[in-house]
Amino acid sequence: MLRKLLLRTSAARRSLSGAGASGSRVLPDRRPSPSLSPSPRGPASRFYASASSQVPGGTFVEHVDDGGADGPTSRPSAAISVDRSALCNPPEHSHEPTADSELVKHLKGIIKFRGGPISVAEYMEEVLTNPKAGFYINRDVFGMEGDFITSPEVSQMFGEMIGVWTMCMWEQMGQPSKVNLVELGPGRGTLMADLLRGTSKFKHFTEALHIHMVECSPTLRKLQHSNLKCIEGENVSQDVGHRTISTLAGTPVTWHAALEQVPSGLPTIIIAHEFYDALPIHQFQRASRGWCEKMVDIQEDSSFRFVLSPQPTPANLYLMKRFQWAADEEIEKLNHIEICPTAMDLTQTIAKRISSDGGGALIIDYGQNGVISDSLQAIRKHKFVDILDDPGSADLSAYVDFAAVKHSAEEASEDVSVHGPITQCQFLGALGINFRVEALLQNCTDEQAESLRAGYWQLVGEGEAPFWEGPDEQVPIGMGTRYLVTAIVNKKQGAPIPFS
Ligand code: SAH
Residue type at position 202: F
Q: Which atom of ligand 1 is nearest to the CA of 125?
A: 22
Q: Give the pLDDT of residue 88.
A: 40
Is residue 418 within 8 A of residue 384, CB to CB? The reply is no
Ligand 1 pocket check: which of 215, 275, 350 to mutate, most ligand atoms within 8 Å of Cβ? 275
Kindly state if the Cβ of 47 falls inside 6 Å of ligand 1: yes
Q: Give the pLDDT of residue 399.
A: 98
Q: Give the pLDDT of residue 17.
A: 36
Q: Which atom of ligand 1 is nearest to the CA of 217?
A: 15
Secondary structure letter of residue 237 according to DSSP: -
Is residue 191 within 8 A of residue 162, CB to CB? The reply is yes
Q: Give the pLDDT of residue 464.
A: 83
What burial letters (b/e) apply to 202-231, b meaning 16+ CB within 10 Å? eeebbebbbbbbbbbbbbbbbbbbebbebe
CA angle 186/187/192 to nearest 5° reads 45
Ligand 1 center–CA 152 separation, angstroms: 13
Residue nearest to atom 6 of ligand 1 (CA): 187
Kindly state if the Cβ of 149 falls inside 6 Å of ligand 1: no
Ligand 1 center–CA 179 separation, angstroms: 22
Ligand 1 center–CA 468 separation, angstroms: 31
What pTM was estimated for this model as a whole?
0.83
Per-residue pLDDT of the chain (500 residues; tens, 9 = 90+): 334 444 343 344 543 433 333 322 222 222 222 222 222 222 222 222 222 333 333 333 443 344 333 333 332 333 333 233 333 444 555 555 568 999 999 999 999 999 999 999 999 999 999 999 999 998 898 877 788 889 999 999 999 999 999 999 999 999 999 999 999 999 999 999 999 999 999 999 999 999 999 999 999 999 999 999 999 976 555 555 578 999 999 999 999 999 999 999 999 999 999 999 999 999 999 999 999 999 999 999 999 999 999 999 999 999 999 999 999 999 999 999 999 999 999 999 999 999 999 999 999 999 999 999 999 999 999 899 999 999 999 999 999 999 999 999 999 999 999 999 999 999 999 999 999 999 999 999 999 999 899 999 999 999 887 777 777 877 778 999 999 999 999 999 999 999 98
Phi-psi region of 379 (alpha: psi -120 to 50; beta: other; left: phi over 0): beta
User: How far is C-alpha 117 from the chain's CA centre?
Assistant: 26
Alpha helices in 101-144 (DSSP H): 102-114, 120-129
Coil, helix or strand at residue 334: coil
CA angle 155/483/472 to nearest 5° reads 60
Q: Give the pLDDT of residue 236.
A: 52
Q: Which atom of ligand 1 is nearest to the CA of 129?
A: 19
H/E element, 167:
helix 156-172
Kindly state if the Cβ of 372 falls inside 6 Å of ligand 1: no
Q: How many CB atoms lie within 10 A of CB 305?
A: 18
Kindly state if the Cβ of 218 falls inside 6 Å of ligand 1: no
Is residue 65 within 8 A of residue 75, CB to CB? The reply is yes
Q: How many CB atoms lie within 10 A of CB 381?
A: 14
Q: Which atom of ligand 1 is nearest to the CA of 141?
A: 5
Coil, helix or strand at residue 53: coil
State how far the Cα of 269 lies from the Cα of 250, in Å rounded to an integer: 18
